[in-house]
Structure 1
């Protein structure tokens, strides 16, 4: 027998965007259900070891993402789960925010409980009931069979636009033309790393590292990330289609998170492609660990301590919203009347087929606006998107997909969903001024 549940707001996806959406909706007084397919929260931040969070600040150092996202950081800091925002020693952005994934999982649960949110884990959404431009319910499947979850408003924070796709709402995927997406990456951690040896190598060989690395500061700030070792990579001839080493330090003093594997040409929404990607990603992990141990200073005694539960996915489907953010909007630092979040993260496109990364920085005051219209799905009146699957072009997704930006759009989607329920309005008809007022009241920066 199929069981039923009902709420004002139903959020699908328990990653950073979905967590913040559910907290925000609950705090607005809406009865809220959060659905997550794994047995724990955190999405790519925990299941795929996406680490650290990048970035809450502009290149000039202004913090433009606060609200629930900042509350989470402060709770983590209070529990010894984060040192807070630190200088990015890669130099790609101004700050990174290390965090302990296990502590984050529980901080999220505590905040959801405080907001009155009902959480359902081990629950996979495999069907959406939609009629006349409205979603009536989603079906979840798990150990106890099928549940039918009814709602007034739905937030798609699945990362893959699953709810939008299953509802019949228009979705897009990849870049225009060939629909290729940014590559997937299997991330892993190593313990036993001598980070002082790494630091010395950077200071002694600055030309072997990313051009924006703050070499002159390395003797007085914590080492948070490293991009480079170009000569070692080239000499070793590693058969991974990229051109440098990239890793981030922590959470432990002898620990790094390695972001070097690259699985290209596969579709993260296709189970056969995902099967291939998981295998290839794990093979590359062992290859990378051996390379680091043999070639990179400080890694001789390092060993693998963890590998992502699943491969990390940068890009799959996204909704076709009332507006699609463009690369021009980002690099010009464009401002919108219906702004609901800001971000200082640059364009960061990992080549779908080549070795490199295409980067472009933000002009103006160093931040661009994300308009509310990017969260509003076409053709489905009670559906909002949050996180990686909001409405953008392929190029603009290369900044909005980063976790702090996803947290910010999550807070917006949950707040807007609750306001829509209270006003008995469609997502597109939410009073944007009231929404902006509520977001600012919740600590957001607009």
Structure 2
């Protein structure tokens, strides 16, 4: 016999999207359970050291993501665990948001408890029980045996569309044709970095750094990120299919987060591929760290201080939902009647097989709408998605996968689930105006 738990809303995946979904559902009055496979919350933001959060703003500096996501930032700032939104000295976006991952774990726990959410960590979903077109329960493997969680509404915030896939909802993976996904990256931190020396080198050698770096402001801006050292990287000829170094500063004054390793051609939903990726990523970390220490100005006394608990995964499965957000929707800044979130992050595709990154910025006012239909599954009537696995094309995923966007779609999914429970209808049948009103009242930006 399995132990059974009853809930109104079951959220699977405790990353930023799942945290925000569960908080929103709990605040709606729905009895909510959040399931997470690790012993801590935060998903890629904590387990894989994805840092900083980017971006809450358009390129002109207009904030288009607030709501629960901004509440989290405000709490972190009060704890001196985030400086808030700061200028991106890489120049790829207008702002980035550094944060302390250990503090984020606690803030998330506090907010979930305040919302009345029941949390189950160290719990891995290995089966989804369906009846007709509805999910009845998810089965968990835990240290204390099997647990079955029954619910009325289910939200997939696993990042990999695990719940949708196990329930039989249509899913897609990778780009059209070869199905290859964006590469995985093993991120790591280094301490002992002389960031002032790094900045002075940048000012003296601007041609060696990203063309959008705001050099005219760099003297007065705190250094938040660096993309370049092209000459040093080329001369090193490391066996990593990338053409530059990328790192972000913090959270400590002498610390950086390095986003440079690249593991390509492997499937993040295949356990043998993931095993290979973890090994390859950790070996690359040692190569990159040694290169930075030996060759880059400012890194002479630096050393590795932490490495991700797992490799960072940009793309795996995603929902093939009622509507798939298109690249043109993003670039043209398209508006939708059923908007539930906005984003100003550009399309940012790390090449699945080559060295480069393909980018396309949002036109118009610098933001695009994410429609509610992207959260709705086909075939399964009581399933919503939030975060990285919402319904998009491969190209559009390259913007919606970023954490602030995931936070926003997670909040929308949780709010929608709460409304569906209250009215006793499927998520597809709720009044979109009621959902939009609830979101705007919770300080989400929809216009």
Question: Is TM > 0.5 for Structure 1 vs Structure 2?
Answer: yes
Quote the residue 1:191 is aligned against. 191
Structure 1 segments unaligned to the other structure (5+ residues): none
**Separation in structure 1 between the aligned mates of residue 133 and residue 279 of structure 2, nearest angstrom:** 40
3-state SS of paired residue (1:396): helix
Quote the residue 1:68 is aligned against. 68
3-state SS of paired residue (2:113): helix
Shift, 1:404, TM fit: 0.1
3-state SS of paired residue (1:395): helix
Quote the residue 1:23 is aligned against. 23
Quote the residue 2:228 is aligned against. 228
Quote the residue 2:260 is aligned against. 260
Quote the residue 2:389 is aligned against. 389
Structure 2 segments unaligned to the other structure (5+ residues): none
**In the TM superposition, what whole-angstrom CA distance separates every residue of 1:403-437 from its partner, at most 9, and x where no partner exists?**
00000000000000010011111111111000000
1:362 aligns with 2:362: yes
Shift, 1:219, TM fit: 1.0
Q: Which moved more, 1:369-378 or 1:229-238?
A: 229-238
Shift, 1:330, TM fit: 0.3
Shift, 1:239, TM fit: 1.3
3-state SS of paired residue (1:359): strand
Shift, 1:196, TM fit: 0.4
Quote the residue 1:37 is aligned against. 37
**Separation in structure 2 between the aligned mates of residue 222 and residue 63 of structure 1, nearest angstrom:** 20
**Separation in structure 2 between the aligned mates of residue 295 and residue 214 of structure 1, nearest angstrom:** 24
**Separation in structure 2 between the aligned mates of residue 7 and residue 383 of structure 1, nearest angstrom:** 14
**Separation in structure 2 between the aligned mates of residue 361 and residue 57 of structure 1, nearest angstrom:** 13
**Separation in structure 2 between the aligned mates of residue 372 and residue 167 of structure 1, nearest angstrom:** 20
**In the TM superposition, what whole-angstrom CA distance separates every residue of 1:52-85 from its partner, at most 9, and x where no partner exists?**
0000000000000000000000000001110000
3-state SS of paired residue (1:155): strand
What pairs up with 1:16-415 in 2 under 5 angstroms? Answer: 16-415=16-415
Quote the residue 2:434 is aligned against. 434
**In the TM superposition, what whole-angstrom CA distance separates every residue of 1:225-251 from its partner, at most 9, and x where no partner exists?**
000000100111111000000000000
**Separation in structure 1 between the aligned mates of residue 242 and residue 221 of structure 2, nearest angstrom:** 28
Shift, 1:187, TM fit: 0.1
3-state SS of paired residue (2:418): helix
**Separation in structure 2 between the aligned mates of residue 217 and residue 172 of structure 1, nearest angstrom:** 43
**Separation in structure 2 between the aligned mates of residue 164 and residue 129 of structure 1, nearest angstrom:** 11
Quote the residue 1:6 is aligned against. 6
3-state SS of paired residue (2:125): strand
**Separation in structure 1 between the aligned mates of residue 34 and residue 116 of structure 2, nearest angstrom:** 11
Q: Please list every run of at least 4 consecutive aligned residues from structure 1 whose deviation after the TM superposition is greater than 3 angstroms.
A: none
CA RMSD, aligned part only?
Answer: 0.4
**Separation in structure 1 between the aligned mates of residue 395 and residue 83 of structure 2, nearest angstrom:** 32
**In the TM superposition, what whole-angstrom CA distance separates every residue of 1:165-218 from its partner, at most 9, and x where no partner exists?**
000000000001110000000000000000001000110011110000001111
Shift, 1:221, TM fit: 1.1
**Separation in structure 1 between the aligned mates of residue 2 and residue 66 of structure 2, nearest angstrom:** 41
**In the TM superposition, what whole-angstrom CA distance separates every residue of 1:117-158 from its partner, at most 9, and x where no partner exists?**
000000000000011100000001110010000000000000
**Separation in structure 2 between the aligned mates of residue 423 and residue 177 of structure 1, nearest angstrom:** 42
Q: How many correspondences in the alignment?
A: 446
3-state SS of paired residue (2:151): strand
**Separation in structure 1 between the aligned mates of residue 372 and residue 319 of structure 2, nearest angstrom:** 13
**Separation in structure 1 between the aligned mates of residue 77 and residue 378 of structure 2, nearest angstrom:** 40
Q: What is the TM-score when the length of structure 2 is the normalising length?
A: 0.99
**Separation in structure 2 between the aligned mates of residue 408 and residue 166 of structure 1, nearest angstrom:** 25
